[in-house]
Structure 1
Amino acid sequence: MSSPFLESLRREMRLRGYSIRTEKTYLHWIRQYIYFINKRHPKDAGQDEVKSFLSMLANDRHVAVNTQKVALNSLVFMYHKALNMPLGELDFSLATKQRTLPTVLSASEVARIIDQLTGRNRLIIMLLYGSGLRVSECLRIRVKDVDLQRQALTIHDGKGRKDRQTLIGESALDNLKEAIEQGISRQPYLDRISAGNQTMFKYSPAARFTLLPDICSSHQND
C-alpha cells in the first residue's frame, strides 16, 4: 500500500490532469529516490541528494538519457509542485546517449497478428496500426469522432492534452464501417454507439495489450 505522502502526490497529479501513465511513472521514480535516501521524507533531503541520485542512475545503473530525464522530472514535480522546495540549478552526471535498434514489426508480421484476431480486438489493432493511435486514444474513440466520408478520426486530449486529426487506415475502414452500422445489437464490444457521445469500446482501464513479442524482429533503416 502507498504511504500517505505518495497518496497526496497522486491526488496532486490528478488535480493537475496528469495522465495515469505519467502518474505511475512519477511515483515509481519518487519511490526509488526515497529508497535511495534511506526512506527519509523528501522534505528532509534536497538538492545534494537529488544530484547524487541522478548521478547514480547515470554512473551505476547506466540508464538511458530519457530515463534519467523522466526521473529528474519526477523529482522536480515533487519538490517544486508538492513540497514547494525549488531545487535550483542541478549539476549532476548526465547519462550517455545510447544507440539501440528498435524492435518493430514488419508489415507481414502485423498482417499475421491481425489475421488471428476477430471482433473488437481486430478492430482495435487495425486502428492502432493503421492510424498511429496510442492504446489510450483508441479506447476513448467516440462514434462522433469518426468521419467515414473523409476517412478521418478526431483524437481528443492526446499527448500534451492536445486535439488532433488522423486518417483511418484503409485496412480498418471497412471493419469500422461495419461495426458502426451493426451497432450494439450485433457487436457486443461496442458501447451504445447510437448515442454518438459514448466511447465505442467497452474496456477495463487496467487492460493491457500484448503483441506477441516473440515474432518481432529488429530492423535498421539504411
Structure 2
Amino acid sequence: MEVKKKLLDLVRDKIRFKHYSYSTERTYIHWIKHYILFHHKKHPIEMGKIEIELYLTKLATNDRVAPTTQNQAFSALLFLYKEVLGLDISEWNIQALRAQERKHIPVVLTKEEVREVLQNIPSEYSLLVHLMYGCGLRMSEALNLRVKDIDFGFDKIYVWDSKSLKDRTIPLPQKLKAKLLEQVESVKLLHKQDLKDGYGNVFIPYALEKKYPRSKLEAKWQYLFPMKSISTDPRTKEKRRHHVMAQTLGRNIKVASQKANLNKRVTSHIFRHSYATHLLQAGIDLRSIQELLGHKSVETTMIYTHVVSEMNKAKVISPLDF
C-alpha cells in the first residue's frame, strides 16, 4: 500500500507539473487506481502489454463502458507509463477488445423548446444559459469566461484555450449586451468587497501567474459568473471565489427542462447542438459554423447536416395523408 501511495503522489506531481486541469487529475487517478486494484494491487512497473489488454478488454466486455470511457482509461494508463514510469507503451501495439462505438445524432431543441427551458432557468443562472445557447459555448467555456473576455467595443466574446486548444472569437448577442454590462459591474462590486474582506484573488493559468503575479487580484481577471461564496482551492488550499460549479448549473438545467415538460433529455450540451443546428437552418455555411464552434475538423461539424436532414424527413407526407 505504501508503494501505491507513493506512485499516486508521483502521478499527481507530474499532472500538476504539466498544468493539467483538476478534473483530469481526478479522472486519471481514478483509472490508475482501478487498473492496479483489478490486478490485485500489483505495481504497474511489474505489468505490461498483457495486463493492459486484459484490463481494457474487461472494461468493454464486463463493464460495458462507452468507447469514450475506455479511451479515457487508456489515456490515463498512457500517461502513467510514459510520463511517470518512463515507458512508451504506444510502441507495444495494445490489442484490447474495443468498446463498440455507436454514431449518435445529437438531440436538439426547437427554438420554442429553447425558449421554454430558458424561461424556467432561475434568474441567477439565466444569463449564463442564454449565453451558452446564444454563442454555442460548451459549459466549461461559459463557466471559465473572465470579465476581460467580453469585448463590448467590438461586440465579441473571446474563448481562450478551449477543448480543441484553438482560441476563437464569437459575436456577442446584442440581446444580451445590456445584461452582460450589468453582470460585469456586479462582478466588479463583488470583487471590491472581496478585497476588503481579505480575499479577491482568483485562479490564473500557471504561466500567466508567474509572468503577471498581481493579475490574480485584478477585476478584469475575475470570473464572469462567480460562485455566491468563497471556497477552498483543492490543490493550493487557498480561499478564493471560483466560478459557478458545473454540477450546480447542470442540476438547474435539468430542473428547468422538467418544468418545461419536455420529453427530450436536456443537458448543458444540447444548447450547443441547438445553436449549430439553428444556424445551419438559417443558411449559415458549414465552415463558418465550424469556426464558431471551435471544431478542428469540418467532419465534426457535418453531424449537424444529418440533424437537419432528419428534420427534413419529418416534412415528408405519408401516402395515407395524400
TM-score bracket, shorter-length normalisation: 0.7 to 0.9
Decide which moves more: 66-75 or 91-100: 91-100
Counterpart position of 2:154 = 150
Counterpart position of 1:137 = 141
Answer whether contact 1:153 1:168 (CA < 8 A) is retained. yes
Q: Does 1:125 align with 2:129?
A: yes
Decide which moves more: 151-160 or 96-105: 96-105
Counterpart position of 2:113 = 109
Map of 1:57-136 to 2, 5 A cutoff? 57-87=59-89, 88-100=92-104, 102-117=106-121, 119-136=123-140
Answer whether contact 1:105 1:216 (CA < 8 A) is retained. no
Q: Distance in 2 between matches of 1:205 and 1:35?
A: 35
Aligned-pair CA distance for 1:206: 7.8
Aligned-pair CA distance for 1:164: 1.8
With structure 2 as the length reference, what TM-score do the two structures score? Answer: 0.58
Q: Does 1:19 align with 2:66?
A: no
Describe the superposition over 1:133-168 as per-residue Cα deviations: whole angstroms up to 9, x where unpaired: 233322332232212243211122222444221222
Unpaired runs of at least 5, structure 2 = 201-217, 228-241, 271-305, 311-322
Larger-gyration structure (1/2) = 2
Q: SS at the partner of 1:166?
A: strand
Instruction: Specify whether residues 15 and 39 from structure 1 end up closer, same or farther in structure 2 by C-alpha distance, changes over 3 A only.
Output: same
Instruction: Specify whether residues 85 and 129 from structure 1 end up closer, same or farther in structure 2 by C-alpha distance, changes over 3 A only.
Output: same
Describe the superposition over 1:98-146 as per-residue Cα deviations: whole angstroms up to 9, x where unpaired: 2445454443333233223455411111122211223332233223221
- Structure with bigger helix share is 2
Q: Does 1:198 align with 2:222?
A: yes
Map of 1:142-221 to 2, 5 A cutoff? 142-180=146-184, 184-185=188-189, 195-203=219-227, 204=242, 207=245, 208=247, 209=249, 210=251, 211-212=253-254, 214=258, 215=262, 217=264, 221=307
With structure 1 as the length reference, what TM-score do the two structures score? Answer: 0.81
Give the CA RMSD over aligned residues. Answer: 3.4
Q: Distance in 1 between matches of 2:61 and 2:185?
A: 57
Q: SS at the partner of 1:61?
A: coil
Amino acid at match of 1:34: I
Q: Distance in 1 between matches of 2:224 and 2:10?
A: 33
Aligned-pair CA distance for 1:53: 0.8
Q: Distance in 1 between matches of 2:62 and 2:189?
A: 57
Answer whether contact 1:126 1:171 (CA < 8 A) is retained. no
Residue-pair matches, total: 221
Amino acid at match of 1:48: I
Counterpart position of 2:300 = none
* Aligned mate of 1:38, from 12, 37, 40: 40
Answer whether contact 2:135 2:171 (CA < 8 A) is retained. yes
Answer whether contact 1:109 1:216 (CA < 8 A) is retained. no
Describe the superposition over 1:1-48 as per-residue Cα deviations: whole angstroms up to 9, x where unpaired: x93422321221111011223222222221221121112222221211
Map of 1:37-56 to 2, 5 A cutoff? 37-56=39-58
